[in-house]
Structure 1
Amino acid sequence: MYYKGFYHLFYQYNPKAAYWGNIVWAHSVSKDLINWLPLEPAIVPSRPFDKYGCWSGSATILPGDRPVIIYTGIINEKPDPGHQVQNYAIPANYSDPYLQKWIKPDNNPIIKPVHENVSSFRDPTTAWFNNGHWKLIVGSKRDHRGIAYLYRSRDFIKWTKAKHPFHTKKHTGMWECPDFYPIGTNGSGDDVKYVFKASLDMTKFDYYTIGSYDLVKDKYIPDNTSVDGWAGLRYDYGNFYASKTFFDPIKNRRILWGWANESSTKTEDIAKGWAGIQLIPRKVWLDPSGLKLLQWPITELDRLRGQKIELSNVKIIKGETLEVKGINVVQNEYKPSFGAFVDVDLTEKKLSLRSLIDHSVIESFAEGGRTVISSRVYPTLAINENAHLHLFNNGSEIITIERLSAWSMKTAHIN
C-alpha cells in the first residue's frame, strides 16, 4: 500500500530459518518500489488469537487516511496446518509515515469459521466499499472445491458472511491468497472488467479469470472466455506464487507483485540460507481484446540502467552464435524448465522479448507482456567474469535481430 509518501511492503517471513515456520509479518518501505528500507516486523505471534502464526492477509486504507491490516491468525496447531481465524491490527501512531508499530486490539478475532473448514480458511483480501458495506473475501475449500467466501461490514469490526460464496469452482482445491480488483485497459481503476485470482495450493501456481461483478447479488461471474483452475490463465508460467496487487494512487496504476518460490528441496534451502524472493513489481492492465492481462516491469526499474549496448539488423544463420560484448553479465547458465504459449499474429514474422537477469532469477516478458515466465536459476559455472551474453539461432531459417538493447544494471538497495 501507499501511505504518507512511502510504499509499504508486508511479507511472510521466517526470521529463524530458510523454510516455512515461525511466520511473522516482515515490513519494508520504499519511495520508488525499487530501493527498500527494512524495518522491524509489523506483526508477530503474541496473543491467543495468533499464538501459532501470523499468516497472510491484506491492508486497506479507510476514510480519513487510516490503514488497517486484516490477517490470518493460527489459534491451534491442530487440525493441520492449523485452526485459522481472521484478526485486525491498526497503527499505534497514524502520523508515523513508516508505520513502525502496530496494535492488535483485544476484540480479535473479528472473523471466525463457523461451518467453514477451520484448517482452510485464510488470506483475507483488501476490502472494498459499496452499497453501504465494506466487503472482503477469504480463501477456503470444501473437499476438493475451491471457495472464496464473502464477508460484509459497516464498521470494519463486525463482519457477516454472505449467504452464498463470492465465487467457487469444483476440483480446484484450496484457494490461497485470493485477489479481486477492477481493471482497465490503462491499468487504472476504471471499472472496465474485474479480475479474480486464486493461488492453487494443489499446483503452487497463480490462476486468474476475467469477468464481471454483480453488485446486486454480490457475486463474481467469469466471462465465458475465462476458465477457472488448471486450464485457466496464469500471471506467470514459472516460479510465481501467492501474488498480490494494489492500486497505486500516485501513478494511477495497478501493481502486481509475486513471490518466486523455489524448485529446490528443504535441505538445499537450508544449505543456501534462504528460500523465496520477491520479483520485480509489474504494472498490470487489460489487453484491448478484454481476454487477458498484460504485464510489464514498472518504469522505476529503468533508473538502475547503466552501460548500454545496441545492435540493429543483425542476421543470424541456423546454428550460429553471436556474443554481445560491452556489458556486465552476472550469470548465464539457464536451462529452460518452463514453457508457455504466446498469443501473437505471425503474419509480420516478428516477435519481441524482454528479459531481466539477476544473480538467481530470470524474468522474461514476451510480446509486450502477453506471456511471462520467471525462473529461479543457481548457476555454478557461468557467473561473474565467466558469464557471457549470446544471441543464437537453433531454428531452421535465418533470423534478423531488428533491434537489441542491453544494459548493465546498478545494484538496488534491498533487504
Structure 2
Amino acid sequence: MYYNGFYHLFYQYNPKGSVWGNIVWAHSVSKDLINWKKLEPAIFPSKKFDKYGCWSGSATVLPGNKPIILYTGVVDENMTEVQNYAVPADYSDPHLRKWIKPDNNPLIVADLFVNSTAFRDPTTAWLGRDGNWKILVGSRRKHRGIAYLYTSRDFKNWVKAKHPLHSSPKTGNWECPDFFPVSVHGTNGLDASLMEENNIKHVLKVSLDRTRYDYYTLGTYYHEKERYIPDKNTVDGLRGLRYDHGNFYASKSFFDPIKKRRILWAWSNESDTVNEDVEKGWAGILTIPRTILIDPNGRQLLQWPVEELETLRGRKVKLRDKKLKKGEHVEVKGITAAQADVEVTFSFHSLDKAEKYDFSWDEYDAQKLCSQKGSTVQGGVGPFGILTLASEDLKEYTPVFFRIFKAKRKHVVLLCSDASSSSLSEGLYKPSFAGFVDVDLTDKKLSLRTLIDHSVVESFGAGGRTCITSRVYPTLAMYENAHLHAFNNGTETIIIEKLDAWSMNSPRIN
C-alpha cells in the first residue's frame, strides 16, 4: 500500500531460517519501489486467534487515510483458520512500525458450510454502491475452488453473502484471491472501489494450490447480484490465463494513488529441497513490481516493470539491423551480463517457413512443447532470442526465445525460458517454462524485454502479453564470467532491428 509518502511492502517471512515455519509479516518501506528499508515485523503470532500462524492477507486504506490489515490467523493444531485485523499503533508515524491486534478478533469465523482449514487470504476491501465494504476469502469445497464474499457496514461486523462471488469445479483450493477493476480504454490503474458501469472490466486472480501457479479471468462484476461472470473467451483454472508462466505465485496487486497505476507483486518460489534451501540461506524472492493494464484487444492483461526500475540502468550498449542467419549468434559485449536489462525487437521478412502446428499437441501445454522444441532444435521461423547467463564455452546458459508455428487460420507464437541448460549442478529443478503469445504478426516483429539478476531471469514478451520468471543457479556463468548472446536457430533469417542493453546497478537495501 501507499501511505504518507512511503510504499509499504508486507510479506511472509521466517526470521529464524530459510524453511517454512515461524511465519511473520515482515515489513519494508520505500520511496520509489526500488530502494528499500527493512523494519521490524508488523505482525507475528502473539494472540489466541493467531497462535499457530499469521498467514497472508491484504491492506486497505479506509476513508480518513486510515490503513487497516486483514490477515488469516491459525487458532489451533487442527489448522483452523480465521480472519483477523490489525491497525497502526501510531497513524502519525509514516513508517507505521507498530501494529495492534485488537481483542475483538477474529472478525470472521467459518460457518458450518465453509471448510475452516481452507479458508484464507482476505483481499483488499472495496466499497460497494450500497455503502458496504466487501472482501473475498479463498477456499474450496471438495475439489471446487471458491471465492467467498463477505460484507460489512463498519469493517468490524462481517456477514457472508448468500452466494460466493465466483467458484469453479475441479480447480482445488483458491489461495491469495485478488479482485480489481481495469480500464478498457484508459492507461491508468483503478482503485478497487471504482464502481463505473461502462469502460471497465474486472479481474479475478486466484493462486491454485494444486499447481502453484497464478491464474486470472477478465469479466463483469454484477453489483446488484454480487456475482462475477468471466468473459466467454476466458476460462477458470488450469486452462486459463496466467500472469506468468514460470516461478510466480501468491501474487497481490494494489492501487498506487500517486501515479494512478495498479502494481503487481509476486513471490518467485523455488522447488529445491529443505536441505538445499538451508544451504543457500533463502527460499524465494520477490519479483520486480509490475504495472497492470488491459491489452487493447480486451482478451488479456499487459504487465511491465515499474518505470522506477530504469533508475538503476548504467552503461548502455546497442545493436541495430543485425542479421542472424541459421545457426548464427552474436555476443552483446560491454555490459554486466549477470545483472542487466535487455530490450530487443526482432523482425523477419516472411512467415512462409514457419513449422506446421501439430494439433495433436495439447494447445494449453506450452511448457511441454518448449521442452520438446528447445533452443537448439532447428525450426523454420525460430527458435530465436537471447542466451542469458551464458558461460564462455556455452556449457551453461538460459535461453529466452520465440518459435512460430503455422496453424490453419493463424500463426501460433511460443515464448520459452528454458532452464534445462542453466546449471551444471545436479539435482536442481531446471524446467522449461513457456507460454503462447496472443499477438498480431502483421508487421512481422516480436519484442522481448528480459531482466537478468544472477539467479533470476524475468522476461516480458510482446510488450508484456506473455511473461516468464525463471530461477536459475549457474556454476560457471557467474558475475564477470556471465555472457549474453542473441541467436537464431531457424532457417528464416532474423533481423535484430533494435537491441538496447544496460548494466544494472544495485538498489539500496537497508
Normalising by structure 2, what TM-score? 0.80
Q: Does the residue aligned with 1:267 lie in a helix, a strand or coil?
A: helix
Per-residue CA distance 1:221-241 (angstroms, 9 max, x = gap)? 111111000000000000000
Tell me, yes or no, if structure 1 residue 267 matches structure 2 residue 275. Answer: yes
Instruction: Tell me the CA shift for residue 161 of structure 1.
Output: 0.4
CA distance in 1, matches of 2:83, 2:167: 20
Query: Contact between 1:334 and 1:379, CA under 8 Å: does it hold in 2?
Result: no
CA distance in 2, matches of 1:232, 1:71: 27
Instruction: Tell me the CA shift for residue 386 of structure 1.
Output: 1.3
Tell me, yes or no, if structure 1 residue 113 matches structure 2 residue 110. Answer: yes
Per-residue CA distance 1:43-98 (angstroms, 9 max, x = gap)? 000000000110000000111111000100000121xxx11000000000000000
Tell me, yes or no, if structure 1 residue 201 matches structure 2 residue 296. Answer: no
CA distance in 2, matches of 1:159, 1:391: 56
Query: Contact between 2:172 and 2:210, CA under 8 Å: does it hold in 1?
Result: yes
Moved more, 45-54 or 14-23: 14-23
Equivalent position of 1:173 in the other structure: 172
Matches within 5 A, 1:68-87: 68-78=68-78, 82-87=79-84
Equivalent position of 1:50 in the other structure: 50
Query: Contact between 2:322 and 2:496, CA under 8 Å: does it hold in 1?
Result: yes
Moved more, 100-109 or 312-321: 312-321
Equivalent position of 1:144 in the other structure: 143
CA distance in 2, matches of 1:91, 1:126: 17
Tell me, yes or no, if structure 1 residue 67 matches structure 2 residue 86. Answer: no
CA distance in 2, matches of 1:58, 1:394: 46
CA distance in 1, matches of 2:164, 2:92: 38
Instruction: Tell me the CA shift for residue 360 of structure 1.
Output: 0.7
Instruction: Tell me the CA shift for residue 385 of structure 1.
Output: 1.9
Query: Contact between 1:188 and 1:253, CA under 8 Å: does it hold in 2?
Result: yes
Task: State the aligned residue count.
Answer: 412
Q: Does the residue aligned with 1:300 lie in a helix, a strand or coil?
A: helix
Equivalent position of 1:11 in the other structure: 11
Q: Indicate the percent of aligned positions where both proteins have the same amino acid.
A: 65
Query: Contact between 1:263 and 1:376, CA under 8 Å: does it hold in 2?
Result: no
Equivalent position of 1:227 in the other structure: 235
CA distance in 2, matches of 1:133, 1:273: 45
Instruction: Tell me the CA shift for residue 348 of structure 1.
Output: 2.2
Equivalent position of 1:289 in the other structure: 297
Residue in structure 2 matching 1:361, options 443, 453, 456: 456
Tell me, yes or no, if structure 1 residue 403 matches structure 2 residue 498. Answer: yes
Q: Does the residue aligned with 2:480 lie in a helix, a strand or coil?
A: helix
Moved more, 187-196 or 257-266: 187-196
Equivalent position of 1:34 in the other structure: 34
Equivalent position of 1:126 in the other structure: 124
CA distance in 2, matches of 1:224, 1:338: 27
Query: Contact between 2:24 and 2:54, CA under 8 Å: does it hold in 1?
Result: yes
Instruction: Tell me the CA shift for residue 263 of structure 1.
Output: 2.5
Query: Contact between 1:54 and 1:72, CA under 8 Å: does it hold in 2?
Result: yes
Residue in structure 2 matching 1:321, options 329, 335, 352: 329
CA distance in 2, matches of 1:386, 1:138: 47
Q: Indicate the RMSD between aligned Cα atoms, in angstroms.
A: 1.0
Residue in structure 2 matching 1:252, options 221, 242, 260: 260
CA distance in 2, matches of 1:290, 1:323: 38
Q: Does the residue aligned with 1:119 lie in a helix, a strand or coil?
A: coil
Instruction: Tell me the CA shift for residue 346 of structure 1.
Output: 2.2
Equivalent residue letter for 1:25: W
Matches within 5 A, 1:206-221: 206-221=214-229
Per-residue CA distance 1:196-225 (angstroms, 9 max, x = gap)? 000000000000000011110111111111
Q: Does the residue aligned with 1:412 lie in a helix, a strand or coil?
A: coil
Moved more, 99-108 or 388-397: 388-397
Task: Return structure 1 stretches of 4+ with deviation > 4 angstroms.
Answer: none
Q: Does the residue aligned with 2:276 lie in a helix, a strand or coil?
A: helix
Unaligned runs of 5+ residues in structure 1 are none
Residue in structure 2 matching 1:92, options 89, 108, 123: 89
Moved more, 380-389 or 156-165: 380-389
Moved more, 350-359 or 340-349: 340-349
Moved more, 164-173 or 379-388: 379-388
Equivalent position of 1:298 in the other structure: 306
Equivalent residue letter for 2:490: G
CA distance in 1, matches of 2:503, 2:189: 31
Q: Does the residue aligned with 1:230 lie in a helix, a strand or coil?
A: helix
Instruction: Tell me the CA shift for residue 396 of structure 1.
Output: 1.2
Q: Does the residue aligned with 2:75 lie in a helix, a strand or coil?
A: strand
Per-residue CA distance 1:242-287 (angstroms, 9 max, x = gap)? 0000000000011111110003222211111101100000000011
CA distance in 2, matches of 1:324, 1:18: 36
Moved more, 322-331 or 358-367: 322-331
Matches within 5 A, 1:377-392: 377-392=472-487
Residue in structure 2 matching 1:104, options 89, 101, 104: 101
Equivalent position of 2:320 in the other structure: 312
CA distance in 2, matches of 1:154, 1:391: 57
Instruction: Tell me the CA shift for residue 347 of structure 1.
Output: 2.9
Normalising by structure 1, what TM-score? 0.98
Query: Contact between 1:187 and 1:286, CA under 8 Å: does it hold in 2?
Result: no
CA distance in 1, matches of 2:20, 2:138: 20
Moved more, 325-334 or 16-25: 325-334
CA distance in 1, matches of 2:441, 2:135: 42
Equivalent position of 2:287 in the other structure: 279
Per-residue CA distance 1:80-125 (angstroms, 9 max, x = gap)? xx11000000000000000000000000001001121110000000
Query: Contact between 2:454 and 2:479, CA under 8 Å: does it hold in 1?
Result: no
Moved more, 257-266 or 279-288: 257-266
Instruction: Tell me the CA shift for residue 33 of structure 1.
Output: 0.4
Moved more, 165-174 or 265-274: 265-274
Instruction: Tell me the CA shift for residue 187 of structure 1.
Output: 3.8
Per-residue CA distance 1:284-331 (angstroms, 9 max, x = gap)? 001112111000001000000000001100011111121111111124
Equivalent residue letter for 1:122: R
Query: Contact between 2:12 and 2:23, CA under 8 Å: does it hold in 1?
Result: yes
Per-residue CA distance 1:115-139 (angstroms, 9 max, x = gap)? 2111000000000001110000100
CA distance in 2, matches of 1:347, 1:67: 48
CA distance in 2, matches of 1:137, 1:321: 50
